[in-house]
Chain A
Amino acid sequence: GAVVSQHPSWVICKSGTSVKIECRSLDFQATTMFWYRQFPKQSLMLMATSNEGSKATYEQGVEKDKFLINHASLTLSTLTVTSAHPEDSSFYICSVRGDRNQPQHFGDGTRLSIL
């Protein structure tokens, strides 16, 4: 069964709208979750590491104010794309990791299309 649930799977909205994506760990408590972005025909690029109870750690070049991450509980992290524009259209994927040295489990991803 699924270990990670991501919602919504697809969202289309107008430019300037803020969009929230949820990532839930179903099988275990995850102190660390990860948010990736995948452009067509390209690999996953890590955007940020979501830490339960503290601020997220963003990768170089990722705008903190643009991509707001909240990890309020051990089973839920949210990514909010604020004032989204067409260039933000992409496939966003979250993953969770249990204990150290365990592989990450990925969600189904969210396809975001900004018109």
Chain B
Amino acid sequence: AQSVSQHNHHVILSEAASLELGCNYSYGGTVNLFWYVQYPGQHLQLLLKYFSGDPLVKGIKGFEAEFIKSKFSFNLRKPSVQWSDTAEYFCAVNAFPNDYKLSFGAGTTVTVRA
């Protein structure tokens, strides 16, 4: 079974700072990769996804992620964060043939100070 590792438990940064959240997975086969965000009091929302093609994926709200197959990584980035980016971020993977099952990382809490 695949597992997902998020390196940072809690990240605190100031507005306009750059953000990078690490995500590694353990599975040697074909994977689909996702980043979800959970704002305080809200449900999980999809930020971006990678299925195939260009390994640099652009999502909503200025986020992007890069799939590096050789490193089994799918790190999330944003060049300049805003206070409204304060949220919990989850990396998730599903792997063929069980491509309907998502495995989540432990999540990273991001706190952006105004």
Contact = CB atoms under 8 A, between A and B. Distances in A.
A43 B106 contact: yes
Contacts, number: 44
| Interface footprint category on B | 20 to 34
B46 interface: yes
Main secondary structure of the interface of B (DSSP, over half): loop
A89 interface: no
Interface stretch (A12-20, A64-72, A103-111): A103-111
Contacts of B106: 42-43
Given A42-B106, A43-B106, A43-B107, A106 B51 contact: no
Contacts of B107: 42-43
B32 interface: yes
A34 B101 CA distance: 8
Interface of B: 32, 34, 36, 42-46, 49, 51, 90, 99-107
Given A34-B102, A93-B43, 6 more contacts: A46-B102, A49-B100, A97-B100, A101-B51, A106-B36, A108-B43
Interface of A: 4, 32, 34, 42-46, 49, 93, 95, 97, 100-101, 103-109
